[in-house]
């Protein structure tokens, strides 16, 4: 066991899989010599060479196409998109090709590509370095979509993703790369939100150095509770946790970890118990993944519901540079939603 | 190569715009009612083009991107440095494959007209490209075709019955009723699954080739794209990645001069397609696509380059789409009726046939007999294919198999949906 | 008034706006000389010239970028994507640029581009000529998303879209271009589904030849009813209507027409009355637009709901060539959902 | 131009792969610990390159895509056919703008280090490009810049205070706190809103130019992209559409040889960037980007071509990114420390200064005085800017204005969300 940040845990996952399987390679902009703009691929170039820690031209569509071709030819490429915001130039290759290949070829061909992408806001990146596009990918059949919330999960899920024979979209909440974020003060700009909390103080910052996997498609119950179920993933797991603690409400917090396939069993079991559900994500609200969660939860648990299911999400606006703390679903907004939900009878 | 002469493309008869537009809009080679005319085309004589060293640079041979590699002259004689050393038996084999493709296309087109297929696409006039290239490659080379390279399957020995079964989505369709006709896939023959999305696989081919190099193997990837489709980003990415990583790939453009109703002038950027490769340091050739021997030689040259680690080659095959785009359009609606006849590079089957006759290795009688034999064989194949089911009547794959292969293992939500389907 | 198919109505909308405003032009693959593969731009080339019925290279991303630049320079380009399935190469330009331009420039710049795209299945087009990607665009703030269900609406909505200063995604359900489709027999392949019904027999096939607009953001109540609200759009409006009639259920059928902005008022009013809601779309289920509708309806109408909101949708698979009638939400599946919903008390 | 010599890119020290990889991976010009060495570069002498006719074709001048248009020689003398007829007053103006940009960059970079900005990007060493090009264009021409053409704003007269207010998202930020620093927008100055997404606006510029032609106007569009960003599809689309419709556009590549940590060798395809334009029939030039006069002359030539209806010009500006990519990286981590010093084309400010001194129109004293004046002016501007608010403390735009401008008129769901924001 070692103390690791999420960046280190991701790096360790890549290292473990590259060591185990010569068909695994990482590729993307600045991932080779430089080790990645967020340092996730640091040291891999030195260890595995320029062919396996492969720098690429700045062409997300070309990178994705090359990765698909490599995947068809037996390799397991792990593509880094420098920011999730820059996935769109590659989305035709992802949707029309990567996701569909196995089905359209009657099972003859497939490409086991993993796409890693730092996503979400909180680093003052403005609208083009803060997006959370995961919802789009959950609408595309043939893709699995994952977002870890801590170093331990990040490593285990990433290894599982790389070894999965289906394509996996692996979104990394960059706000918590180096430490958890508890949604400090949405109204103060210079102050509390700059507090850097370290992963070393968090239990999930304990990460085995060796190879291990966490099965895709399994949620984790972060806090048990009886009165309301809170569904979150990525950075929002920690903000939700802080909000629940601050509110004193007896909430059950579930970290979805994998969005598709969804662990509906765990979710439904919880809502059947609590009768209430609040869903939290950073992405814009309309047609975000929260909508799908609402739809499934109300279908599965309709007769137990004591209150409308609430969504606490990013606003339906581009992500603003100066107002990120007002954009983020804050502790305050989560607490209000929890209280509104509990007030229903 | 000079830019096409500046002409305003407007033909407005009733344009209420107050603007005096200065926008240039490209012209078509011909439109209905006009006389088709290719007399401006500069076609070098067969045998005139030199054959460069395998390790040439792109700029050293940049003239070849504007010329036309030709081996067979108008009389069917093979001439010049590009003439490949092919045995008569191989030439007859090539001729037979091309004729087989044509017989197949004709049958399938007719079956579509009779409502037995939902859709069909012929490659009439372009048979030499796929057939000759497949013969010049090795079986371990991976093919990334478009919908107009059915010839590859004939050379690689795919049973015609299987191709038909795919086209009618019956119980023996290897694609389980999922794909439109002609979007074949054949793993065993190293023939990649065709996508309806144009050009997407062109850049994947380069990734495949990079993996081949990564694994230290000698296989190359060979990919095709149409003239119109060259406009897609994937073609740029393919050229760039192939150059950057010196991928063992052959990147082909089949310039049949039309993209549905859109003439090549909208994609050609006032130049040849091959010329686009030079700026990427990829040696680029322009080849008479209706000349079986020239296509063979160019492909062989490119394949040798790839296997020697010299990287990719870009080949424009200059040809002509003799018929409609697909069963969905009538070309008389957008180009002069006689354009196909006016096209000066002839028919690839006729040209190879003449060559073989000149060599004393073939005769008109043999040719006619073969044509009948192939037609009959395709008819027999069709009968067998429909015995496994037809599009409208089935049997098909069980309908619930639509849930298979979305993922390797079916997740719970798909199992639930399959149940809801109630079959 | 004239009898028009949806193709003719769309053509007429283009003609009316081009006549009125020299800044309007249509552009796309085969839209000029040829008049479009579905004939929607027929005659415009002859009437307005090659500059205003502009053929383009096959490069959806390039077409979209050019249209944005034109829009910034005062024109109103109407882009035809030959099939909605081929929007993805243009999606970066749509999401990152078209949708965001006004906001990111503080209101300085905008591009009033309309994107027309034939969408949906039912013409044996297989997985790459049958998709319904509208849900994705409703997740992108800054875009309006429209899908008409009949010739009259198509013309009025398209004119409104073209004259709107915001970008509009205008999806045209190609199955009903030439006549409505009532979801004939999902179990027969050769028979009933080949029946072509004509628009001339449908009241909405009566279309004024002159200019008129239908305001974006307004739903239409197709059939009034008391027991259950059915939300649909595009082709599914007609299948739903046929299903409701066949079932004898007293359902209120709402044709959303504009998905974003959603006419939540009309929807909520209806569900408050009926207490039940069934949502129908062709697109794949997970994270489709139906999920957003469920989320909004349950939030607005929770206390009136007598049954879980049901979604009847395409399956979470690519669209299959041979099995389109089993893929389409059929009358049978809709009737089952209606009956299940009504059985709840 | 020959391909770079074949070298295996691997530096693996502990590679457990059983494969003998044959994949070629490009090399960097230098990496830390190596000696920076540009001695392989073939740099033509100033004045040596001929100036083609405005109506030349791309292939006629293809050599210029591999050469380097230079006017200022090492001694600061202007020479050859490209030397533009600029008055001393204009030259001093250009020098002043470049010095102003540098002073501004230095100040802003320091302010970022002090936590006053979230991010900043300098254009040190590349000032000539934006400043000289803006001076060669007309005010009605539309600019589609990247984040490294701040010089355009200085020439067009944007108040420095306004630029600063944007960079700190304060109450006077014309972008209302929405954009990261340096993603300027300035409609009044025909300066398009910069996108964080690389290259997307390059092809939009061509659409803008097409609209200009459609309306029969004389304005051109001028767009920029970095060497690394040329790999994006938008650049391909820009070249293709500009060629197909002969759009009045100037398409620039600022080849500063680095894209964050990635050397130009990953994007250059073993050739020059300019060479890529020739295959699209777009006359393409390669210019000494640190030579104010060469950049001016090339731009003027391209602008004249555009206004004469001769279509687009593609210009590669060969320069060097002297500093880090942005405030987020340290270049010493990925390139040799001395690489900037080894770069042979010098500093654009120094070179123009020397030229003016040679002309007797400038002196070392004047230069030093101007530097101080500009530094002071930037300091005063900064003080004024922060008087309208700072990033951390505000005042900003009211937070609820984030809901404005998503649409022209706010729809109900956004009004509802604004209410929920509770402000
Ligand atoms: C991405 C995409 N855009 C548009 C289409 C529609 N489409 C199918 S074939 C075709 C024309 C292709 O022409 P070309 O590349 O010249 O190939 P050819 O048909 O002549 O062989 C078009 C526009 C498509 N299939 N995919
Ligand atoms: C689509 C996209 N991909 C990746 C990035 C991240 N990124 C920002 S700048 C940059 C390097 C650009 O290099 P270059 O084009 O050479 O321009 P320069 O910074 O040298 O001026 C990268 C990769 C981005 N902003 N947009
Ligand atoms: Mg073609
Ligand atoms: Mg650069």
* pLDDT single digits (tens) B23-45: 999 999 999 999 999 999 999 99
Q: Measure the CA–CA gap between C84 and C134, rounded to whole angstroms.
A: 9
In degrees, rounded to 5, the angle at the alpha carbon of residue A12 between the alpha carbons of residues A7 and A16 is 155
- CA of D259 from ligand 2 middle (Å) equals 6
- Answer for the pair B198, B231: CB distance below 8 angstroms, yes or no: no
In degrees, rounded to 5, the angle at the alpha carbon of residue C185 between the alpha carbons of residues C249 and C130 is 105
How far, in whole angstroms, is CA C29 from its chain's centroid? 20
Contacts with B216 from chain D: Cβ below 8 Å: 19-22
- State the nearest Cα–Cα gap between A162 and chain B, in angstroms: 14
Whether the full predicted model's pTM is greater than 0.90, yes or no, is yes
Q: Could you report the per-residue pLDDT of D240-283, keeping only the tens digit for each?
A: 999 999 999 999 999 999 999 999 999 999 999 999 999 999 99
- Answer for the pair C297, C272: CB distance below 8 angstroms, yes or no: no
User: Could D210 and C69 be called an inter-chain contact, meaning their C-beta atoms sit closer than 8 Å?
Assistant: yes
Contacts with A316 from chain C: Cβ below 8 Å: 141
The pLDDT score that the predictor gives to residue A195 is 59
Whether C25 and chain D come into contact, CB under 8 Å, resolves to: yes
> Does ipTM surpass 0.90 in this model?
yes
User: Could C317 and B402 be called an inter-chain contact, meaning their C-beta atoms sit closer than 8 Å?
Assistant: yes
User: Could C100 and A308 be called an inter-chain contact, meaning their C-beta atoms sit closer than 8 Å?
Assistant: no
Contacts with B215 from chain A: Cβ below 8 Å: 73-75
On average, the pLDDT of chain B sits at 95
Give C1's pLDDT tier (boundaries 50, 70, 90).
confident
Which H/E stretch holds residue B41? none
Nearest to B235 by CA among D274, C89, D236: D236
| Ligand 2 neighbourhood includes D244 CB (under 6 angstroms) | no
Q: Does A203 have pLDDT greater than 80? A: yes
Please give the backbone phi and psi of residue C261, each rounded to the nearest 5 degrees, phi first.
-70, 140
| Catalytic-labelled residue, pool C51, C103, C129, C238 | C129
Q: Measure the CA–CA gap between A293 and C291, rounded to whole angstroms.
A: 8
Whether A34 and chain D come into contact, CB under 8 Å, resolves to: yes
Which H/E stretch holds residue D372? helix D364-387
Contacts with D277 from chain B: Cβ below 8 Å: 279
On average, the pLDDT of chain C sits at 95
> Cα torsion at A140, C124, A111, A130 (round to 10°)?
-30
Nearest to B51 by CA among B64, B65, B36, B66: B64
The pLDDT score that the predictor gives to residue C304 is 97
Q: Measure the CA–CA gap between D147 and A299, rounded to whole angstroms.
A: 49
Neighbours of chain C (3+ CB pairs under 8 A): A, B, D
Q: Which positions ≥6 away from B405 have C-beta within 8 Å?
A: A102, A103, A106, A107, B176
Indicate which residues of A carry an active-site annotation.
Answer: 129
Q: Could you report the per-residue pLDDT of D70-83, keeping only the tens digit for each?
A: 999 999 999 999 99
Q: Which positions ≥6 away from C146 have C-beta within 8 Å?
A: C157, C161, C168, C169, C170, C171, C216, C257, C258, C259
- State the nearest Cα–Cα gap between A184 and chain D, in angstroms: 15
- State the nearest Cα–Cα gap between C229 and chain D, in angstroms: 21
Count of beta carbons in the 10 Å neighbourhood of residue B44: 13
Give B18's pLDDT tier (boundaries 50, 70, 90).
confident
Polymer length of chain D: 423
- CA of D95 from ligand 4 middle (Å) equals 23
Mean pLDDT computed over A52-80:
98
Q: Does A192 have pLDDT greater than 80? A: no
The pLDDT score that the predictor gives to residue A340 is 97
Mean pLDDT computed over C22-34:
98
How many CB contacts within 8 angstroms connect chain B with chain C? 154
Mean pLDDT computed over D129-155:
98
Q: Does D7 have pLDDT greater than 80? A: no
- State the nearest Cα–Cα gap between C51 and chain D, in angstroms: 7
| Ligand 2 neighbourhood includes D201 CB (under 6 angstroms) | no
Mean pLDDT computed over B390-419:
97
User: Could B183 and A104 be called an inter-chain contact, meaning their C-beta atoms sit closer than 8 Å?
Assistant: yes
The pLDDT score that the predictor gives to residue C196 is 67
Q: Does D349 have pLDDT greater than 90? A: yes
- Answer for the pair C6, C178: CB distance below 8 angstroms, yes or no: yes
Q: Does C195 have pLDDT greater than 70? A: no
The pLDDT score that the predictor gives to residue C148 is 98
Q: Does D13 have pLDDT greater than 50? A: no
Best mutation site among B124, B151, B198 for ligand 1, i.e. most ligand atoms within 8 A of its Cβ? B198
Mean pLDDT computed over A185-199:
57
**Three-state DSSP class for residue C108:** coil
Q: Measure the CA–CA gap between C229 and D92, rounded to whole angstroms.
A: 74
Give D4's pLDDT tier (boundaries 50, 70, 90).
very low
How many CB contacts within 8 angstroms connect chain B with chain D? 139
The pLDDT score that the predictor gives to residue A66 is 98
The pLDDT score that the predictor gives to residue C183 is 86
User: Could C106 and D208 be called an inter-chain contact, meaning their C-beta atoms sit closer than 8 Å?
Assistant: no
**Three-state DSSP class for residue A109:** coil
Count of beta carbons in the 10 Å neighbourhood of residue B277: 29
Q: Does A194 have pLDDT greater than 90? A: no
Whether C270 and chain B come into contact, CB under 8 Å, resolves to: no
| Ligand 1 neighbourhood includes C82 CB (under 6 angstroms) | yes
Give C186's pLDDT tier (boundaries 50, 70, 90).
very low
The pLDDT score that the predictor gives to residue B422 is 80
| Ligand 2 neighbourhood includes D196 CB (under 6 angstroms) | yes
> What single DSSP character describes residue D390?
B
- Residue found by looking up tokens 């039912």 in the block: C122
- CA of B291 from ligand 4 middle (Å) equals 45
C129 is catalytic: yes
Burial D43-64 (b: 16+ CB within 10 A, else e): eeebbebebbeeeebbbebbeb
The pLDDT score that the predictor gives to residue D16 is 59
How many CB contacts within 8 angstroms connect chain A with chain B? 141
The pLDDT score that the predictor gives to residue A197 is 83
Q: How far apart are the first and last CA of chain C?
A: 47
- CA of C91 from ligand 4 middle (Å) equals 25
Q: Find which of D15, D217, D269, D275 to mutate to test the B interface (most B CBs within 10 Å of its CB).
A: D269
Q: Measure the CA–CA gap between C43 and D20, rounded to whole angstroms.
A: 61
Q: In sequence order, which ranges of chain A are alpha helices (DSSP H)? A: 6-20, 44-48, 60-72, 91-92, 101-104, 134-138, 151-163, 235-247, 264-274, 289-301, 324-327, 331-343
Whether A252 and chain D come into contact, CB under 8 Å, resolves to: no
Q: Measure the CA–CA gap between C250 and C253, rounded to whole angstroms.
A: 10
Q: Measure the CA–CA gap between A277 and A306, rounded to whole angstroms.
A: 9
Structure tokens at D26: 């490009």
Nearest atom in ligand 2 to the alpha carbon of residue D254 is: 21
Q: Find which of B177, B183, B203, B247 to mutate to test the A interface (most A CBs within 10 Å of its CB).
A: B203
Cα separation values, C332 from B4, B53, C185, D412, Å: 59, 68, 9, 36
Burial class (CB in 10 A: 0-12, 13-18, 19+), B217: middle
Q: Could you report the per-residue pLDDT of A230-265, keeping only the tens digit for each?
A: 999 999 999 999 999 999 999 999 999 999 999 999
Contacts with B261 from chain C: Cβ below 8 Å: 30, 33-34
Contacts with A287 from chain C: Cβ below 8 Å: 135-136, 138-139, 287, 289, 291-292
The pLDDT score that the predictor gives to residue A81 is 98
Q: Could you report the per-residue pLDDT of B78-105, keeping only the tens digit for each?
A: 999 999 999 999 999 999 999 999 999 9
Proportion of chain A above pLDDT 90, given as a percent: 94
Q: Measure the CA–CA gap between B166 and C322, rounded to whole angstroms.
A: 11
Count of beta carbons in the 10 Å neighbourhood of residue A116: 29
Give B16's pLDDT tier (boundaries 50, 70, 90).
low
Give A183's pLDDT tier (boundaries 50, 70, 90).
confident
Neighbours of chain D (3+ CB pairs under 8 A): A, B, C
Mean pLDDT computed over A35-59:
98
On average, the pLDDT of chain A sits at 95
- State the nearest Cα–Cα gap between D208 and chain C, in angstroms: 4
Mean pLDDT computed over D386-391:
98
Nearest atom in ligand 2 to the alpha carbon of residue D255 is: 16
Query: What's the per-residue H, E or C state across B176-233?
Result: CCCCCCCCCCEHHHCECCCCCCCCHHHHHHHHHHHHHHHCCCCCCEEEEEECHHHHCH
Nearest atom in ligand 2 to the alpha carbon of residue D148 is: 21
- CA of D228 from ligand 2 middle (Å) equals 7
The DSSP-derived string for D181-249 is TT---BGGGTBPPPPSSTTHHHHHHHHHHHHHHHTT----EEEEEETGGGGSHHHHHHHHHHHHTT--E
Q: Measure the CA–CA gap between C306 and C302, rounded to whole angstroms.
A: 9
The pLDDT score that the predictor gives to residue A185 is 53
> What single DSSP character describes residue A230?
E
The pLDDT score that the predictor gives to residue C185 is 53
Q: Does D382 have pLDDT greater than 70? A: yes
On average, the pLDDT of chain D sits at 95
Q: Measure the CA–CA gap between C278 and C306, rounded to whole angstroms.
A: 12
Please give the backbone phi and psi of residue A15, each rounded to the nearest 5 degrees, phi first.
-60, -45
- Answer for the pair B283, B61: CB distance below 8 angstroms, yes or no: yes
User: Could A108 and B200 be called an inter-chain contact, meaning their C-beta atoms sit closer than 8 Å?
Assistant: no
């Amino acid at each position: 066991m070692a103390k690791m940040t999420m960046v280190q845990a991701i790096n360790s996952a890549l290292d473990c899989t590259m060591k185990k399987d010569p068909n695994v390679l990482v590729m993307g902009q600045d991932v080779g010599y430089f080790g990645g703009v967020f340092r996730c691929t640091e040291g891999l170039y030195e260890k595995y060479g320029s062919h396996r820690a492969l720098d690429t031209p700045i062409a997300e569509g070309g990178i994705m196409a090359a990765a698909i071709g490599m995947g068809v030819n037996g390799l397991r490429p792990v593509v880094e998109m420098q920011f999730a915001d820059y996935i769109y130039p590659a989305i035709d290759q992802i949707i029309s090709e990567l996701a569909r290949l196995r089905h359209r070829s009657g099972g003859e061909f497939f490409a086991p590509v993993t796409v890693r992408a730092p996503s979400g806001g909180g680093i003052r990146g403005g609208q083009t370095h803060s997006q959370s596009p995961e919802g789009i990918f959950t609408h595309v059949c043939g893709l699995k979509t994952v977002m870890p919330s801590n170093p331990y999960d990040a490593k285990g899920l990433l290894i599982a993703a790389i070894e999965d024979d289906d394509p996996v979209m692996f979104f990394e909440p960059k706000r918590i790369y180096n430490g958890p974020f508890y949604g400090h003060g949405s109204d103060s700009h210079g102050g509390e939100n700059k507090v850097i909390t370290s992963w070393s103080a968090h239990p999930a910052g304990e990460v085995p150095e060796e190879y291990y996997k966490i099965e895709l498609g399994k949620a984790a119950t972060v806090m048990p509770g009886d009165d309301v179920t809170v569904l979150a993933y990525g950075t929002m797991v920690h903000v939700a946790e802080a909000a629940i603690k601050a509110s004193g409400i007896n909430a059950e917090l579930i970290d979805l970890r994998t969005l598709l396939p969804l662990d509906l069993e765990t979710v439904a079991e919880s809502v059947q118990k609590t009768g209430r559900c609040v869903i939290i994500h950073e992405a814009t609200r309309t047609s975000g993944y929260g909508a799908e969660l609402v739809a499934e939860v109300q279908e599965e648990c309709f007769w137990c519901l004591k209150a409308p299911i609430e969504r606490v999400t990013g606003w339906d606006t581009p992500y603003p540079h100066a107002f990120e703390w007002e954009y983020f679903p804050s502790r305050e907004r989560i607490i209000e939603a929890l209280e509104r939900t509990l007030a229903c009878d | 190569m000079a830019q096409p002469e500046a002409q305003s493309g407007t033909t407005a008869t009733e344009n209420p715009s107050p603007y005096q537009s200065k926008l240039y809009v490209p012209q078509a080679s011909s439109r209905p009612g006009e006389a088709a005319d290719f007399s401006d085309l500069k076609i070098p004589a067969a045998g005139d083009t030199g054959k460069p060293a395998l390790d040439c640079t792109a700029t050293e041979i940049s003239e070849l991107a504007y010329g036309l590699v030709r081996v067979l002259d108008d009389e069917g004689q093979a001439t010049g440095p590009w003439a490949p050393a092919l045995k008569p038996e191989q030439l007859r084999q090539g001729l037979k494959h091309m004729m087989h493709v044509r017989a197949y296309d004709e049958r399938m087109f007719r079956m579509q007209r009779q409502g037995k297929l939902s859709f069909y696409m012929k490659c009439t006039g372009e048979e030499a490209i796929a057939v000759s290239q497949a013969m010049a490659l090795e079986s371990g080379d991976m093919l990334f075709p478009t919908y107009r390279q059915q010839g590859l399957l004939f050379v690689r020995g795919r049973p015609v019955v299987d191709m038909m079964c795919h086209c009618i989505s019956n119980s023996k369709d290897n694609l389980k009723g999922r794909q439109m006709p002609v979007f074949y896939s054949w793993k065993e023959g190293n023939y990649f699954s065709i996508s309806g999305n144009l050009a997407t696989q062109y850049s994947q081919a380069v990734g495949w080739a990079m993996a081949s190099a990564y694994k230290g193997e000698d296989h190359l990837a060979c990919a095709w794209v149409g003239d119109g489709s060259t406009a897609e980003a994937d073609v740029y990415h393919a050229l760039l990645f192939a150059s950057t990583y010196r991928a063992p790939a052959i990147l082909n453009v089949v310039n049949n001069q039309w993209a549905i109703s859109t003439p090549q002038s909208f994609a050609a950027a006032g130049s040849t397609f091959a010329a686009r490769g030079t700026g990427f340091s990829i040696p680029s050739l322009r080849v008479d696509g209706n000349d079986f021997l020239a296509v063979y030689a160019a492909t062989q040259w490119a394949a040798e380059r790839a296997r020697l680690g010299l990287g990719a080659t870009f080949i424009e095959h200059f040809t002509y789409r003799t018929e409609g785009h697909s069963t969905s359009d009538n070309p008389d609606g957008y180009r002069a009726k006689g354009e196909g006849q006016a096209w000066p590079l002839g028919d690839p089957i006729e040209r190879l046939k003449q060559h073989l006759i000149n060599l004393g290795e073939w005769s008109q009688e043999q040719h006619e007999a073969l044509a009948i034999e192939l037609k009959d064989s395709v008819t027999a194949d069709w009968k067998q294919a429909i015995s496994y089911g037809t599009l409208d009547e089935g049997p098909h794959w069980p309908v619930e198999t639509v849930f298979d292969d979305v993922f390797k293992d079916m997740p719970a939500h798909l199992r639930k949906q399959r149940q809801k389907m109630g079959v």
